[in-house]
Amino acid sequence: MTVGDRRRGNERETKQRQSFVRDLLFVNAAQVVTCAGPDRARKGNEMREAGILKNAAVAVSGGRIAAIGGAHDLQAAYSNAEIIDCRGGVLTPGLVDSHTHAVFGKPRFEEQELRAEGHDYMEIAARGGGIHSSVRDFRERSEEELYDLAVSRLRAVASYGTTTVEIKSGYGLSVDDELKALRVIGRLAATMPIRIVATWLGAHEIPHEFRTSDSLRAEYLDMLVAKLLPKVREQGIARFADVFCEPGVFAIDETRRILEVSRKSGLGLKIHADELKPCGGAELAASLGAVSADHLAAISEGGIKALASAATVATLLPGTMFFLGKTKQAPARALIEAGASVALATDFNPGTSPTVNFPLVLTLGVSQLRMSVAEVLVAATVNGAAALGLAGETGQIAPGFAADLALFQISDARELPYWYGARLCVGTWKAGAPCHPYETGSNLISRSPEASAPG
């Protein structure tokens, strides 16, 4: 059997597993973090309530949350359900990682040493490192190789409790290579047992071959909107368009042009905004009705006010600033206190945030952004879902929502950001189907309906 035959067999097996979902009954959890409430992003003080229940069981039917209540009552009502014994763990909505660049080739570990020597992000990029390095590598790799690399990464992502992940293109930066990236993401969405949302980020950087003159730069912008975007829409994989709006990358007027044309093409909007310098990205995101403005470490007072008065989610990526060695993080407290909705995400990428560990980002949310545990839980679930236009589908444990769940081997939700760096997740489910059954081991016991009633 060839590697290709094995891969196709694995893909068929994944589809079969996803198409057959038994009713489930989760019992014996020390706590159930529901995040139940409106099917929209939680703003300001609303983020203080994570809806933590004790002595509650959760019934799943048809891949959706059917009921929350006492174990004996639910076992009577769902007598044919498979019983999942949580063994005193904490059950949460599956984490929603709403900002990643998970499809890439080689890591960029050499840049970490350069930063330690005093070279900053923009200087490394000017030398041909940074995104440009990943672009050169990406263009040389086949779709098969990129897919295989991403599969192993996404398995690790799920093993930390994530059940929904956004993946951006943006390391191709040519018509053929951007479409290649989106094809890989689309294939991952069809074959991996986690929920995947694709974002087109053709405006991630100006490629080196278009940087030597203003006319070539203008040519690249024209190519994005006139040639590549129609093909992206025809391909039908991307749900959102994103632009890296930052001095030295894409200016405000360039960002506006790309996003306005993308919106007319039917794509939702996201922006890399105000990461290193304040440039009005947050204000632009709010004015365009973008679902999220991401990064925001350098957001202005005006940007905070704009997001507080808009439905746009402020998606903060503390792992990035931590890894870059920056002392200034996004002003989470100011955003929340102004009444904005805040999400957290990993920004998983090869250069500035090479982590699949979402709970570690929650640790940074508490220790670096001064958020409460309830706030980081809401930020990583329902608000992350809202940042992907999925607030009515996932991100909370409430009747009617998808049974996207994560089980952690802890007895109190406050332990999730406390044990920093630890992999505490012992099971994840997307729409009732296991995301990483190879991680269950002896910590999670799945019993047949004929087993004795839970205590």
- Distance (Å, rounded) from C-alpha 95 to C-alpha 345? 9
User: What local confidence, expressed as pLDDT, does residue 448 receive?
Assistant: 41
**Residue 438 pLDDT greater than 90, yes or no:** no
Q: Provide the percentage of residues in the chain whose pLDDT is more than 90.
A: 84
Does the pLDDT at position 124 exceed 90?
no
Q: Which pLDDT tens digit goes with each residue over 400-414?
A: 999 999 999 999 999
Is residue 387 within 8 A of residue 60, CB to CB? The reply is no
Question: What average pLDDT does range 159-166 have in this prediction?
Answer: 97
Q: What is the pLDDT of residues 20-39, one digit of tens each?
A: 578 999 999 999 999 999 99
- 103, pLDDT greater than 70: yes
444 has pLDDT over 50: no
Task: Flag whether pLDDT at 274 surpasses 60.
Answer: yes
Q: What pLDDT does residue 127 have?
A: 75
d(CA 129, CA 263): 31
| pLDDT tens-digit map of 309-342 | 999 999 999 999 999 999 999 999 999 999 999 9
Which residue intervals of the chain bear CATH 2.30.40.10? 3-93+395-447
Using the predicted structure, report yes or no on whether residue 446 has a pLDDT greater than 70: no
What residue spans of 54-127 are helical by DSSP H? 71-77, 110-116, 121-126
pLDDT over 50 at 424, yes or no: yes
Predicted local distance difference test score (pLDDT) of residue 259 = 98
Our CA dihedral for 221, 222, 226, 229, rounded to 10 degrees, sits at -10
Architecture of the 3-93+395-447 domain: Roll (2.30)
* pLDDT for residue 10: 46
Question: CA 195, CA 350: separation in Å to the nearest integer?
Answer: 21
pLDDT bin (cut points 50, 70, 90) of residue 119 is confident
Domain with CATH 3.20.20.140 in the chain: 96-386
pLDDT, mean of residues 421-450: 70
Q: Which pair of structure tokens corresponds to residue 128? A: 């041909």
Of the CA atoms within 13 Å of residue 265, those in its CB half-sphere come to: 26
In the chain, the percentage of residues whose pLDDT exceeds 70 is 91
pLDDT of residue 330: 98
pLDDT on residue 113: 86
* 295 membership: H or E segment, kind and range: strand 292-295
**What's the chain's average pLDDT?**
91
CB burial readout 70-87, b (16+ within 10 A) else e: ebeebbeebeebbbbbbb
| CB count in 10 Å sphere of residue 262 | 27
Tell me the CATH number for domain 96-386: 3.20.20.140
- Which of the four pLDDT bands, split at 50, 70 and 90, describes residue 233? very high
Helix, strand and coil content of the chain, in percent to the nearest 5, comes to 40, 20, 40
